[in-house]
Structure 1
Amino acid sequence: MKKIASFTVNHIDLLRGVYLSRKDVVGDQVLTTFDLRMKEPNREPVLNTAEIHTLEHLGATFLRNHPEYDEKTVYFGPMGCRTGFYVIFKGNLESKDILSIVTELFDFAASFEGEIPGGSARDCGNYLDMNLPMAKYEAQKYLELLQNLGDENLVYPE
């Protein structure tokens, strides 16, 4: 079988960052998938399910309520390997095009207070597996990276 695109990425040399993962054309629309890599694969501990689940709720809610990105957002969710998130936006975009919205998103998550959106038994199939303090901690760590990105954090390694 042919490897899917995400399995061809050099995870040995991959750093934390914001990477263009793929572009797909659906009808007349370009959908751009980004890899929001919060952990260095196979070198750092992965995100625990409680904080990644919390960040998923915060991130998806933030993007779908954003005045500019609400209609551009197709998907925001965790990677199975738990080293970050995928976000899919409508549009033919590059990593540098989304740095401001990604920074806004993680700033929102790092400073969030109150009830987690969708964090109830009625609204979520696993509402007990949430950890807001750790989600805020991980969001803050990622924010620090976002403020100091180099090309090595924006382009997949060979």
Structure 2
Amino acid sequence: MKGLKKQRRIQIIVLAFVALAVATGLVGYAMKDGINFFRSPTQVAEAPPPPSETFRLGGLVEEGSLIRGQGEAITFAVTDGNATIPVSFTGILPDLFAENQGMIGTGRFIDGTFVADEILAKHDESYMPKEVVEALKEQGEWKPEATN
């Protein structure tokens, strides 16, 4: 009787570990497209990601780089003070999007240009995304009096 209880307990423990491993694998598989890593322009310039990888690029919109093309096509450059990455975007930019302001874009790096699917801009005159602040601090370009 004791051997049967011990065997049953071991079976339940093994089954619980297998179920936990399967659940963890399914959660990871479901989230793989939803996880986008943040990179600064310097990180992208030093180690360009493959064109198949979707990631977030953030920095300041470079002064004088904003060019509006035909329709909703827009090109500009994003910088962190150390490196500059050209960006192309087709769509409507947020109202607060402007040169020398913080932005974060989600997209892919194709042929030396960040092709953005989504652009986010600061939401008021004192806000800058946390990732952009950290990247600017690393490059020595952080100006705390201009942002929060």
TM-score, structure 1 length as denominator? 0.24
Compare CA radii of gyration and give the structure with the larger one: 2
